[in-house]
Structures are given as C-alpha cells and as structure tokens.
Structure 1
Amino acid sequence: MLKLIVFTIFLGAAMQSCQQKSEKDEALAPVKDVFADYYEERLALFPLEATMNGDNRYNDKMSDDLTKAGKLKAETFFKKYQSELAKYNREKLTEEERTSWDLLQWECNISLEGLKFPTELMPLNQIFSTHLMIGQMASGGSLQPFKTVKDYENWLKRVDGFVVWCDTAMVNMKKGMKEGYVLPKPLIKKMIPQLADMDQGPTTAHLFYSPAKNFPKDFSADDKARFEKEYAAMVEEKIIPTFKKLHNFVEKEYLPAGRSTNGFDALPNGKALYDYYIKYFTTTEMTAEQIHQVGLDEVARISGEMEKVKAQVGYKGDLKSFFNVVREDKKLMPFAKPEEVIVHFNKIHETMKPNLQKLFELTPKTKFEVRRTEAFREASAAAEYNPGLADGSRPGVFYVPVPNAKKYNVVSDESLFLHEAIPGHHYQISLQQENKTLPEFRKNLWYSAYGEGWALYSESLGKELGLYTDPYQYFGMLSGEMHRAIRLVVDTGLHSKGWTREQAIQYSLDHEAESEESITAEIERYMAGAGQALSYKIGQLKIRELRAKAEKELASKFDIRDFHKLVLESGCVPLRLLEDKTNAWITSKK
C-alpha cells in the first residue's frame, strides 16, 4: 500500500511537471523572435558591423572591442542567447528554424571561446586592422554613407570614437609588450608607412577630408561651408595628431619590442589560440597536422597538372624555371595605365555572361563594379570584394590593387574575377543578403570556409563559363589553386611547426608563379591573420567532394543548376551543415 501511495505521488508530480513544461513551451515566443532580437542587439553592440550591413542607426558609434568592459558586454550578450536557445526544443522546430538555431548556437559558442584569448593586446597589423577599415570609410566611397547632412555629422562623431579607440590600442599594445603579446618585426615595419601617410597635411589633400570635397548636389551653401570648416578641424586637430602619436609609438617603442619569431605558437598560450583559429576559420575539428598533410598532397597533385600545361605550351625547362618565365613574360604585362586593368576585368565579365545561365538559375539583383584599390593601402593590399546592399544603395565592389600598371601580370585574372566577383563572392554574398526567407542575422553571416570555399570552387568553373581558352589563363587558375594549397602548408608551418618567414617565402617561390614581392606580402598576411588562409582550400575541397558525390549517386538526375542553388540558397553555413543538407537533398532526389 505504501509503495502504491509513493508511486501515485511520483506519477502525480511527473504529470504536473510535464503539464508545467507544456505550459512553459506554449508561453515561449516564436523562436524567430529570438533570432530577430539577437540581430538587433548585436547591431548596437557592433556598430561598424551594422554600417557594413547597411543599417545606418549606429553610424556615429565605434565598436568597443579593446576594453575589459567591452569584452564583458560581448560575453554577457552571447551567454544570454545561449540561454535563450536552450529554452526551445530543437526537434519541434521547422527544418529552416533548426538550421537557424544551429547557426546561432555556433555563433555564440565560437564567439565565447574566442573571447577567452587576449587578442586585444595586438589590435593593429598591416592588413586586418580597424585603422585600415576606418581609412577606407573616410574616403567617402566605401561602407560609410555620405549622402545627407546627418551622414556628415555621424562621421564626425564616429571619428571621435576612433580617436579613443587608437588611444586604447596604444595602451593595450604597451601591455602586450610586457606580456610578450606583440607582432613580429616585419609586420610592424609594414605598418609604419601606412601610419606615416595619415600623420601629415596638407589638410585638404588628406584622406579624411575627402567627403568635404565631394558634397551631394542638394547640399546648401551653408552646409558645405560648415562641413568644410568642421572636416578641416577634424583632420588638423584629431586625425593628424592621433596618427602622429600612433606612428611615433609604433616606430620608436613598438618596433624595438617586436618579436623575432613568426608564428602564433610563440605567443603565450599561442598553440591553443591557433587551434581556435583553425576551428573558427575552417568550421571543422581538423588539426594543424592533418591540414598540413592535405596541403602537401594538394601541392603534389596540382604540380602534376601544371606540368601538363607546361608541355602544352612547348616549354622544355623544369616547372620552377617555367614559373620565372610566367612571372617575367612581358606579353603577360600588356598595360601602361591602371585604368586599362579595370577595362580588362570588365571584358572578362562580358565574355562569360552568356554562359552563366547554363550553371545558375539563382542569380543576384545587386549591382556590381570593378574599382582600383585606394592609393593609401594599395601597396599592401590584395584584390578583394566589398559587399553591396540588397536595397540597391551600394553596389558590390571588386577592388584591384595596381601599384605599377607596367608590371601588372594578367596570368591569373580570369580565375581572380571568378573568385572575387562573379560567380564567387558577388553571387554568394548578394544572394544571401537578398534572401527574404532568412532571419536578418543570417543574411550577413560569414563563415570563411564556406564563403572562400565557394569562391575558390568558382575558379574551377572557368571552362564551363567560356574562359581558360588561353593555356596561360588556365595555368593562372592552377596557380591560384596552388596558391591556396600552399597556404595550408605555410600557415600551419608558420603557426604550429616553427617555420620562419623566410622558409615560408621560399616554399611558396618553389611551388608557384607569383612574384617574390607578392609572395612576401602574402606570407606576412598569414603571419598577421593566423588560420584565415586555411579556409579557402578546406571549403573548396568539401564543395567539390559534395558535387562529385551528387553526380555519382544521382547520375542522369543530377542538374548543376540545382546543385548550385542548393549550395547558395541558405547563405553561409559551417561545412558540416552544408554536408548534412546536401546528403538530404541527394536522398530526396533519389
């Protein structure tokens, strides 16, 4: 009898608990509200990201990513949304909601993991750095809009925040010097001329004065006069003095304290930091050793393909000497003026246009332009893509650095256009932003393994798009793929195997046709941004693997337009989610 009473009490308690849980589930707001709240709160926390996304509400603010208070706010934010997600039964969500749930969980987890490391102690470098991004915005032709009086006022306030950011950066760098958290000397040397370009007049020729020379037509004479005065004062009293301080500090104090080592594994707890960057940029659990071996295997495979092209063009020497021929062939340097390079890329676009519909049913509406990289950062910049906006207010821009038009080599230009522009970054990012079925936070997500993997995969589509009819351009595509395979070897070599800068440069020179100047800039890029360079090849190999699987298992049912739609329609996702989605698609097609 006692057992029966106990069981009855237990059963009653269990039923009451289930009823309470059921009522709790019913009381929950739709999970889409969590996604929407996350995005709104994130924009306020990361105002530069908001501007990049085309949300102008925070254009007068700077992100607080260098202070303890700023990092604590970020930690609190991500933990809050971990807790919010935990309230929902994932299995009861729709398929698309589950994908969004998984993505937001990944975002919170990987961000919290990264916040454990004191990366704010190395806030500046020569390529991935806020001071360079702000310089681009200051030009008036980039992410920051300068269309209204409010826009011009916003920028003046944001510059105030940037001045504070620079002061905080110097404080952090001094702390980093004491703790051994500093950049390698070669990278510091590259920063010095960048800072020197900004620490002097004349005022009206300064980059930060540029918007005051390009007012919208509807500005009144009074507004123009006011902003000419205020922007001149901003340059003379804030920007030039700030960059003078930065320049002097970096050259006189930071450079002597710079590291003679090259990799992140030389930093305190650097091995764990590099392992984190591998996970962050590849969205996989691969180890540095595994990635290094994949790189070695790919370098060997691509070298064999290069040998075939060398034989096709009738060159009798070895592959390494053929690299020198390609580097120095004047026929591959046909330009005298930078504008000719831009015209050249637009011609590539025109050539491939008729074939795009054969491969893509899904295409973006966002406009697209090719522009020359701004002079202040051209010497250290690589070709790159800046996203447009779905509302048409900003086109996607493919930036091409042309520091010396007469030495500009065209050998990789067709593959470069496919990667950075169409159907690479421009298609992928624009379609993601234009997709009205995605929660807002997903429209601007970026996973390098997916985004750069897609762009590198796009390079392999050249023949299907009517390009690579010239064997040198096909060699250029192989060179581009080799370049990304080499990255797997040298990035892991630098950051996990004790490779020197010189060793990494020599390995690249031995296996690709890039100039030593270009290779040096690339190696120094990997030294500054550990792990990012791994994402390209790891992502490309996964997309290739999935396409090959689909072609084999679906046979005559395989449609390349459907496959490309499948890969692109949901925007950026970690590679595991892309694989799961592709496997489900293959099963449904069968």
Structure 2
Amino acid sequence: MSTHTPAPEPTRPPSAVDAVAEAYTTRAAELDPLGATAMGLTGYDHLMTDLSPAGHEARAEADRAVLRALDGLEPVDDVDRVTLAAMRERVGLQVELHDAGETLASLNNIASPVQELRDVFDLMPTGTVEAWENVAARLNALPGAVEGYVTSLSEAARRGRVAAIRQVRVGAEQARELADPATSFFTTFVSGPEAAAVLDESAACSLVRAELERGAAAARDAYARLADFLETDLAPLAPAQDAVGRERYALLSRTFLGAEVDLDETYAWGLEELARVVAEQEEVARRIAGPGASVEDAVAVLDADPTRTLHGTDALRRWMQETSDAAIEALDGTHFDVPAPVRDLECLIAPTQTGGIYYTPPSDDFSRPGRMWWSVPADVTEFNTWRERTTVYHEGVPGHHLQCGQAVFARATLNSWRRLACWVSGHGEGWALYAERLMADLGFLDDDGDRLGMLDAQRMRAARVVLDIGVHLGLPAPEQWGGGTWDAEKAWTFLSANVNMPESFVRFELDRYLGWPGQAPSYKVGQRLWESTRDAARAAAEARGEEFDVRAFHARALGLGSVGLDVLRDALA
C-alpha cells in the first residue's frame, strides 16, 4: 500500500453553528440508536430505536427544534455557510417527510425497518465480551421495536397510506425467513465463530451466551409476529398499484437528490442517455467479438473466457480486495490524496443473499473500517471480473470509500453532523458513478471487457431513470417497450432487456425501484449534476484565464462531505 500522507489541515475553531450541529447529532443518536451505530458513534449499541408513532414524532420535534436553533445564526466562514444550507435543506426535508406520513408507512424490499432491524447487527462490534453483551441487549429489545413498527404501519394505514401489495408480500417473505430457526440470521449469528472466538467457558460468558440465545429467539418470534401482521392485517389494505404519483414522487426525488429537477425533462434525458450508452456498448462489442457482433455476442465471448471468471465467493472476495488495494495504491498521491486511515478498505461477502452490493462507512474513530459488501444470491456461484471491476471502483476508491472516508477523516474542519450524519443519495451515488467514468478516463478500464462492464453498469443506471420516473408518474411508454402507460409488466420487459444479470438479481432490483421511488434515478441523475458542476467550474476557470485543476476540484468537492446537490453546486460556484 502507498505510504503517501497528505499534509494535515489546521484545526478550525468550532463556531456557534457547529455547536448546534454537534448537539443535534448527539440528540439524533439518542433518538435513533440504530442510526448511531451506522454512524459509528459509541455508547448506543445496546439500545434500540423507537419505531412507534411517538418515536417518529420525537425525532420530528428534534428536527423542528434544530431548524429553530439555526434561525438567526450568522456564518463565520464558508464552512458555516455550507453547514447552514445543508442542515436547513436536509432537516427541513425530514420534517416534510414526517408531515407527509412517509416515515410511518416505510415498507419495501431493501431499505425499511424490515431490513434495518436485522442489518444493523452487521455493523456492531463483536470483538469483546462487552460487545456481545450489547448485541444481546439489542436482540432482546428488538421485539419492542417491531411492535412500534407494527403500530406505525397501522396508523399509516388508518390515514390511507399503505405500501403496494408487492412490497407487503416481499416484506412478509423476508420476515418469515428471519423467523425460521433453520434459516434465520439470528440463529447462526449468536452461535457462529465470531461469538465462539470471544466467549469462553467462564460463568460470565455463559450468562452472555444465554442472553444471546434468548435474544435470538425473541428476534425470531418478533419477525414471526411481523410476518403475521403483514400477511393478515396489512395485505388486505394494500393497493395493487405500484405507482406513487407525481406529488409524492417529487418530494421523494428532492429527498434523494438534494435538488429539484424537471421530472419530465429528466425522463426524456434518461431515454437519450440510455440510447447513447447502448451505442457506445455496441461499438465496444464489435471490438470484442468482431464486425457486426451484438452486445450479447460480446458478453458470450467474455463469459467464456476462463481468465475473467471467478469460482465461488472466496475467490470473489479475494479478487475484490486485490482490485481495491491496487486502485488505492495507484490513485493515492497521483490523482487524489488518500488519508492514512482511509487506505484501509475491507471487502466482505455479506451474510444476506439478496443480490445487493453496498458500502458501509468507517466508524467515527476508524476502529471499524470502511467495508464493501457483496450479498450473493444462493444460486450464483460464478462471477465475471469484466462485469465487476467497475463495481469495485464504485464502492471503493475513488467511489464511496474515498468519499465517505475523507468526510469522516475531516475532523479538523467539519462538525460531526457533516462528517457522520449527513448522507444524500444523489451526492453519494452520483459521485460513485462519476468515479466509474473517471476511472475509464484515467485509463483503468482500457481493456475492452472491463469497459463493456462499466458501460453495462451505466446502461442499467440510465434504464432506471426511465423506468422509475415512467412507472411512478404514469408516463407514456415508448412503442418499443409496449406503448401505453408504464406499469410493472412493461418495466420487467424493459429491465430484462437492459440489465445483463441473473434473473434473481433483476427481480430484486425491479421490486426495489417499485418500492423505493426516486432512489434509483439518484445515481445517474446525481452523476449528471456532478458532471455539470465540474463543467461549470472548468468554464469559470477558463473565463478567468486559468487552467482548470481537476484534482483540486475533486479535493475541494469531497472536502465538503455529503450535501444536497444544489448545496454542492452553490458551494463550488
């Protein structure tokens, strides 16, 4: 690994704005211990978030209080100016979502309490007896959280807000799996090698093991209760229609982007961008498989190449780690300055089997490193490096890990809310797609197979813009994809034609888009806004007669942490 170390930044004296942000971060952690664990804040791992209507209201009141506290505060420097703009935008949107009933009704196949109550255990420390005591305490508190969640879903239903039946059924299926002692994550988690490596045969450890077993049983029972509720009580109330409509979608789009975009123009742009990426793919395909070859022909050639094939998850994990380490080595000190703690990125196979690939940032003190997770479906045993090299750059460096790790590291200039608590999907996912293209521009994807893989990923992201906006706004579908109005059936045909992945992955992805409106387009639209922000900065430099320094632009932009894309644009103007 590179030993390049950037010069430390001088510590900036905290301001009154920072004091409000720090107090708010502490209050947010108290009210949402699961979020505190995700941020890597210590002292909350034994606690559970209140998911009842009262818990949601308490968090909304904390949001309103911080907005009141920010009123009248004057910024002392540019850091304060960004903090004020970012907090007013982010926290203000959280209040809007609460008031609209979105938080009470949260239910989908990937990012709702159904998954979050389980996934938090992947982030918890497990290296000490005390850490396992925290796990046991949180497991035993999980039934209360489920009861609060059930109450919130019931209250949302009373107000006329219920997730589509597709999401209710998927949630019930996931809950049933977690409730089954034979398949439940909780069963294997408390009796697995991580626990065995820490808990010896002493009386104290025996008590911890007993609490873990009791907690695992309680968690399984709670998920059984949740599955019963979803199947028996909520499903009869769930609408068949997946689309959420223009008004709800506009709010959710702003939430994920941190910017307001013209949805109809963005839909049209998505169709144009998809056509552009497909044309570029076809050009690369002909270089791979010969004149007149299709993308499918090139894929067949690449998939048949044994030098591009990995067998089993162990080989996949090793290749991920080697590829990630090599990228950090090559980029540090040349195109980016990577702080020493950020050079540590851990590549893991996730304990789930949903097909998702995701990143979790380092803890506040870097004792938990940044991690790239691959959730491999049970029926997938072979992997093609040509497809996945760009994914490693997306999740690792210069993608999410560089972005999030640098923000966590920026303790000298940014308050805790800016470093740990603020995450905007369009900023983060947009940067990760921007990073994929950047790696191609820097020559890391000159191999035609790797380049086709990058374009394959970009094609999927462009298709998602079309599908997501088209379905949820009920827009007309192109004749090529069935004409009439977009719906789930047309979306499946469209997605299958534009995503070169196993069917189980594509099915999961379609359910995700239908149940998490506005999130999927934030990747490609975020990339578009990142690129327009960079191009505006280049034009401004040239207008001043200066040479544009893209490395300095990246350093300045990443130094802001994750902010809404309108705030990013204004800060870099």
TM range (shorter): 0.7 to 0.9
The secondary structure found in structure 2 opposite 1:313 is: helix
Q: Which residue of 1 aligns with 2:207?
A: 226
The CA distance in 1 between the partners of 2:58 and 2:154, in whole Å, is: 23
Q: How does 1:191-590 map onto structure 2 within 5 Å?
A: 191-201=171-181, 206-210=187-191, 214=195, 217=198, 221-236=202-217, 238-265=218-245, 271-316=246-291, 319=294, 321-322=296-297, 325=300, 329=304, 331=306, 334-356=309-331, 357-363=333-339, 365-366=341-342, 367-374=344-351, 377-378=352-353, 380-403=354-377, 404-436=379-411, 437-444=413-420, 445-497=422-474, 499-554=486-541, 557-583=547-573
* Residues 352-409 of structure 1 deviation map (CA, whole Å, 9 limit, x = unaligned): 34430321134452321111111xx31x241100111242310111011233453433
The secondary structure found in structure 2 opposite 1:260 is: coil
Q: Which residue of 2 aligns with 1:14?
A: none
Tell me which of 101, 126, 132 is aligned to 2:115. 132
Q: Structure 1 residues 155 and 344, CA, compared in 2 at 3 Å: closer, same or farther?
A: closer
The secondary structure found in structure 2 opposite 1:359 is: coil
Tell me which amino acid in the other structure corresponds to 2:125.
Answer: P
Q: Structure 1 residues 332 and 181, CA, compared in 2 at 3 Å: closer, same or farther?
A: farther
The CA distance in 1 between the partners of 2:295 and 2:499, in whole Å, is: 8
TM-score normalised to structure 1 length: 0.84
The CA distance in 1 between the partners of 2:257 and 2:120, in whole Å, is: 29
Q: Structure 1 residues 39 and 394, CA, compared in 2 at 3 Å: closer, same or farther?
A: same
Contact persistence 1:431–1:568 (CA under 8 A) = yes
Q: Structure 1 residues 258 and 329, CA, compared in 2 at 3 Å: closer, same or farther?
A: farther
Tell me which of 20, 25, 50 is aligned to 1:39. 25
Q: RMSD across aligned C-alpha pairs, in angstroms?
A: 2.8
Tell me which amino acid in the other structure corresponds to 2:376.
Answer: V
The CA distance in 2 between the partners of 1:200 and 1:514, in whole Å, is: 29
The CA distance in 1 between the partners of 2:126 and 2:169, in whole Å, is: 33
Contact persistence 2:426–2:522 (CA under 8 A) = yes
Q: Which residue of 2 aligns with 1:64?
A: 50
Q: Which residue of 2 aligns with 1:16?
A: none
Q: Which residue of 2 aligns with 1:55?
A: 41
Q: Are 2:138 and 1:162 aligned? A: no
Q: Structure 1 residues 342 and 263, CA, compared in 2 at 3 Å: closer, same or farther?
A: same
Tell me which amino acid in the other structure corresponds to 1:360.
Answer: F
After TM superposition, the structure 1 stretch with the greater mean CA deviation from structure 2, 102-111 or 214-223, is 214-223
Contact persistence 1:275–1:287 (CA under 8 A) = no
Q: Are 2:168 and 1:188 aligned? A: yes
Contact persistence 1:351–1:466 (CA under 8 A) = no
Q: Which residue of 2 aligns with 1:116?
A: 99
The secondary structure found in structure 2 opposite 1:398 is: strand
Contact persistence 1:128–1:528 (CA under 8 A) = no
Contact persistence 1:326–1:513 (CA under 8 A) = no
* Residues 423-466 of structure 1 deviation map (CA, whole Å, 9 limit, x = unaligned): 10100001000101101111111111111111111101223555
The CA distance in 2 between the partners of 1:343 and 1:509, in whole Å, is: 30
- How far has the Cα of 1:273 moved from its partner? 2.0
The CA distance in 1 between the partners of 2:127 and 2:101, in whole Å, is: 38
- How far has the Cα of 1:331 moved from its partner? 4.8
- How far has the Cα of 1:324 moved from its partner? 6.6
The CA distance in 1 between the partners of 2:286 and 2:221, in whole Å, is: 58
The CA distance in 2 between the partners of 1:177 and 1:396, in whole Å, is: 38
Tell me which amino acid in the other structure corresponds to 2:564.
Answer: P
The secondary structure found in structure 2 opposite 1:64 is: coil
The secondary structure found in structure 2 opposite 1:342 is: helix
- How far has the Cα of 1:226 moved from its partner? 0.8
Q: Are 2:103 and 1:96 aligned? A: no
Contact persistence 1:59–1:155 (CA under 8 A) = yes
Tell me which amino acid in the other structure corresponds to 1:388.
Answer: P
* Residues 36-92 of structure 1 deviation map (CA, whole Å, 9 limit, x = unaligned): 22222222122211122222222222222431x2233223222222221112245xx
Q: Structure 1 residues 327 and 486, CA, compared in 2 at 3 Å: closer, same or farther?
A: farther
The CA distance in 1 between the partners of 2:162 and 2:515, in whole Å, is: 11
Contact persistence 1:414–1:467 (CA under 8 A) = no
Tell me which amino acid in the other structure corresponds to 1:458.
Answer: A
For the pair shown, the structure with the greater C-alpha radius of gyration is: 1
- How far has the Cα of 1:229 moved from its partner? 1.6
- How far has the Cα of 1:246 moved from its partner? 2.1
The CA distance in 1 between the partners of 2:206 and 2:467, in whole Å, is: 53
The CA distance in 2 between the partners of 1:121 and 1:205, in whole Å, is: 26
After TM superposition, the structure 1 stretch with the greater mean CA deviation from structure 2, 572-581 or 313-322, is 313-322
Tell me which amino acid in the other structure corresponds to 1:275.
Answer: A
Q: Structure 1 residues 162 and 306, CA, compared in 2 at 3 Å: closer, same or farther?
A: same
* Residues 90-149 of structure 1 deviation map (CA, whole Å, 9 limit, x = unaligned): 5xx2221111121221223111111112234534332112232332334xxx22223444
The CA distance in 2 between the partners of 1:111 and 1:175, in whole Å, is: 19
- How far has the Cα of 1:547 moved from its partner? 2.8
The secondary structure found in structure 1 opposite 2:43 is: helix
Contact persistence 2:36–2:44 (CA under 8 A) = yes
After TM superposition, the structure 1 stretch with the greater mean CA deviation from structure 2, 310-319 or 324-333, is 324-333
The CA distance in 2 between the partners of 1:42 and 1:178, in whole Å, is: 28
After TM superposition, the structure 1 stretch with the greater mean CA deviation from structure 2, 381-390 or 193-202, is 193-202
The structure with higher relative contact order (CA 8 Å, sep 6+) is 2
How much identity, in percent, do the aligned residues show? 24
Contact persistence 1:415–1:476 (CA under 8 A) = yes
The secondary structure found in structure 1 opposite 2:83 is: helix
Q: Structure 1 residues 65 and 136, CA, compared in 2 at 3 Å: closer, same or farther?
A: closer
The secondary structure found in structure 1 opposite 2:376 is: coil
Q: Structure 1 residues 205 and 117, CA, compared in 2 at 3 Å: closer, same or farther?
A: closer
After TM superposition, the structure 1 stretch with the greater mean CA deviation from structure 2, 247-256 or 279-288, is 247-256
Contact persistence 2:386–2:450 (CA under 8 A) = yes
- How far has the Cα of 1:568 moved from its partner? 0.8
- How far has the Cα of 1:291 moved from its partner? 1.9
Contact persistence 2:52–2:147 (CA under 8 A) = no
- How far has the Cα of 1:316 moved from its partner? 4.9
State the number of aligned residues.
540
Tell me which amino acid in the other structure corresponds to 1:487.
Answer: R
TM-score normalised to structure 2 length: 0.86
Between structures 1 and 2, the one with greater helix share: 1
Contact persistence 2:132–2:195 (CA under 8 A) = no
Tell me which amino acid in the other structure corresponds to 1:361.
Answer: D
The CA distance in 2 between the partners of 1:204 and 1:55, in whole Å, is: 24
Q: Structure 1 residues 512 and 153, CA, compared in 2 at 3 Å: closer, same or farther?
A: closer
Contact persistence 1:364–1:430 (CA under 8 A) = no
The secondary structure found in structure 1 opposite 2:341 is: coil
The CA distance in 2 between the partners of 1:216 and 1:31, in whole Å, is: 45
The secondary structure found in structure 1 opposite 2:272 is: helix
Tell me which amino acid in the other structure corresponds to 1:261.
Answer: Q
- How far has the Cα of 1:576 moved from its partner? 2.1
* Residues 304-326 of structure 1 deviation map (CA, whole Å, 9 limit, x = unaligned): 21121122124455746448747
Contact persistence 2:281–2:295 (CA under 8 A) = no
Tell me which amino acid in the other structure corresponds to 1:471.
Answer: D
Tell me which amino acid in the other structure corresponds to 1:224.
Answer: C
- How far has the Cα of 1:281 moved from its partner? 0.8
- How far has the Cα of 1:571 moved from its partner? 0.8
Tell me which amino acid in the other structure corresponds to 1:310.
Answer: A
- How far has the Cα of 1:530 moved from its partner? 0.9
Q: Structure 1 residues 467 and 279, CA, compared in 2 at 3 Å: closer, same or farther?
A: same
After TM superposition, the structure 1 stretch with the greater mean CA deviation from structure 2, 334-343 or 438-447, is 334-343
Structure 1 unaligned regions, length at least 5: 1-28, 266-270, 584-590
Contact persistence 1:332–1:411 (CA under 8 A) = no
Q: Which residue of 1 aligns with 2:66?
A: 81
